Amino acid sequence: MRKITNNILVVLTFLSVVFIPPIMLLYIVSGLVIGFRKGFRPKSLSFQLLIFSSVFLVLSVLFFIFVAIPVAQQHEESEKLYSASYNLRIVRQALINYVKSNNDILPSSERWCDELLAYDENLSKANFKHPADPNWVIAMNRNVARKNFGKLPNEVVLLLEAKGDWNTAIDQNNITRDTDRRFINIILKDGTIQDYWLPERGIKKGMFHERYVPVIWMND
């Protein structure tokens, strides 16, 4: 529903940007043409058209600054977050495909990205990068590496967003907060995606603020 609302706002913004300038220009040109023909008088149609077009211009500029630009930015951020969630889901699906072919055992923490690429035709290296920040990637919960997937609880964290590079695998004790981000997205074994607020420094036991249901990291 939120995505549909954002799309409607973007369409309305696009229509306003496309149609407002030509209409405004038409009023100005019409006012000038009539004004030069009949002279500019306070009560004349040309004078009124120029006043109206001036007010219309000011309102259009204000609309563009306070409505169109914020809506476009909001839509862009929404698309990035949507893509990030999509990446988490597709990487999780590759993990599931992997364990089905490897006796239900999850990949190692050292080369897990490399090992997953062969298990989903829709998966590429781009899916491991966060669309909003190239310095952030999808990381694997180090504590579940080489574990039996079927024996893990549904609340176990499989994947999370983190600063890093290819084959990043970490746990909640060495996640650091980026200055521009207040939370990270994680995906659990059962496919649930949650967002978690981070403290200023590395997360210690009891400091990881869980906004929804408690999760398991497998290192307690």
Q: Sketch the domain layout of the chain as residue ranges.
A: 2-80
- The single residue listed with the structure tokens 């079927």 is 150
Q: Please determine, for residue 40, whether its predicted confidence score (pLDDT) is greater than 70.
A: no
8 Å CB contact between 185 and 84: yes
Three-class secondary structure of residue 210 per DSSP: coil
Mean pLDDT value across residues 5-21: 55
CA distance 168 to 179: 20
Q: Note the pLDDT of residue 133.
A: 82
pLDDT at 163: 87
Is residue 140 within 8 Å of 159, Cβ to Cβ?
A: yes
Write down the pLDDT at residue 78.
54
The predicted structure's pLDDT at residue 75? 57
Residue 208 — very low, low, confident or very high, per pLDDT cuts 50/70/90?
Answer: very low
Task: Please tell me the predicted confidence (pLDDT) of residue 209.
Answer: 47
Check residues 10 and 70 and name the one with the higher pLDDT: 70
Res 73: pLDDT: 64
* Higher pLDDT, residue 134 or 206: 134
Q: Could you count the other beta carbons within 10 Å of the beta carbon of residue 95?
A: 24
> Is the per-residue pLDDT at 211 higher than 50?
no
Both structure tokens of 6: 């954002």
* Residue range 173-203, pLDDT digits in tens: 777 666 566 778 899 999 998 887 766 554 4
What is the rounded distance in angstroms from the CA atom of residue 139 to the CA atom of residue 160? Answer: 5
Q: What angle do CA 122, 116, 166 make, to 5 degrees?
A: 100
Residue 65 contacts residue 73 (beta carbons within 8 Å): no
Please give the backbone phi and psi of residue 163, each rounded to the nearest 5 degrees, phi first.
Answer: -70, 135
Q: Per-residue pLDDT tens for 99-122?
A: 999 999 999 999 999 999 999 888
Q: Is the pLDDT of residue 1 over 50?
A: no
At 127-167, the pLDDT tens digits run 999 887 888 899 999 999 999 999 999 999 999 998 889 99
Instruction: Report the pLDDT value the prediction gives residue 206, as an integer from 0 to 100.
Output: 41
Give tens-digit pLDDT for 50-98: 666 667 667 766 766 666 666 666 656 555 555 888 899 999 999 999 9
